[in-house]
Amino acid sequence: MSEIEKFRNEVKDNIEGLSKDKDVQGLSRIWLRETARYKYSYNFSWMGRPIIQYPQDMMAMQEIIWRVRPDLIIETGIAHGGSLVFYASMLELLREDGQVLGIDIDIRDHNRDEIEKHPMFRRIEIIQGSSTDEDILKEVRRLAEGKKKVLVVLDSNHTHDHVLKELQLYSPFVTKGSYLVVFDTLVEDMPEDFFPDRPWGKGNNPKTAVWEFLKTNDRFEIDKEIENKLLITVAPDGYLKCIKE
């Protein structure tokens, strides 16, 4: 066995150990709950743009992008554009022709200006409109036509019905071996009163939508290894690997 194989096996054993350690998992849930009160994810930026994601999840995303080498990454929900810039920069490192498509129902002018003048914008296209609108989907289909490897990230409206609709509409774009990533499934694991000013909460969120979606779609399975090794993630049960054409 080579040294590289030994190291990979050691990492695999580490992750398996974490998956069985209920104390560490419990501590991670407590940490997530308590730091979320301070909007922890707002504290970070990527290449100058606020990313509004946990660094741990972005580490997972770069691993996925490096492994899959997608021709197209589709993201619903743009906010300040940091994640679009992150994905574009990863594709830049691959030195291939990959592109990023961002969709948001409300792209604020100041955010659009900053995204469009960013050096990574050459790999980015943004569309304003509802991710579930048929006219928007027609444009997405046009841009996805001919792409061999497509990765999809859902991070817009977090209600059950909206995310379930996105899952149904965007899952066909995802190619075998790639991923459909659903962020903020963590909402289901937060206390009942954690989102008093939002239309989503316990029982009505991305995780419940994922569970419902998987009842009738066998192209995807939850990649538990990712969340087991991260421990700190906003996407438990949200890393869906495409296992069928």
What does the pLDDT look like over 44-91, one tens digit per residue? 999 999 999 999 999 999 999 999 999 999 999 999 999 999 999 999
DSSP code for 229 = H
Judge whether 235 and 57 are in contact, CB under 8 Å: yes
Residue 1: band (very low, low, confident or very high) from pLDDT cuts 50, 70, 90: confident
- Split into its structural domains, the chain has a count of 1
pLDDT of residue 55: 97
CATH number assigned to the domain comprising residue 140: 3.40.50.150
Q: Is the pLDDT assigned to residue 98 strictly greater than 90?
A: yes
Residue with tokens 């290449």: 47
* Total residues found in the chain within this entry: 245
Give yes or no for residue 196 having a pLDDT over 90.
no
H or E stretch at 56: helix 55-68
pLDDT at 218: 97
pLDDT recorded at residue 193:
85
Neighbours of 213 (CB within 10 A): 21
63: containing domain: 3-242
The pLDDT of residue 12: 96
Which three-class secondary structure state does DSSP give residue 144? helix
Instruction: Decide: 143 and 118 in contact? Cβ < 8 Å.
Output: no
Q: Reduce the DSSP state of residue 25 to 3 states and report it.
A: helix
Helical ranges in 174-231 per DSSP H: 206-216, 224-230
User: Do 57 and 151 meet the contact criterion of CB atoms below 8 Å apart?
Assistant: no
Indicate whether 208 pLDDT > 90. Answer: yes
The percentage of residues in the chain with a pLDDT greater than 70, rounded to a whole number, is 100
**pLDDT tens for residues 112-139?**
999 999 999 999 999 999 999 999 999 9
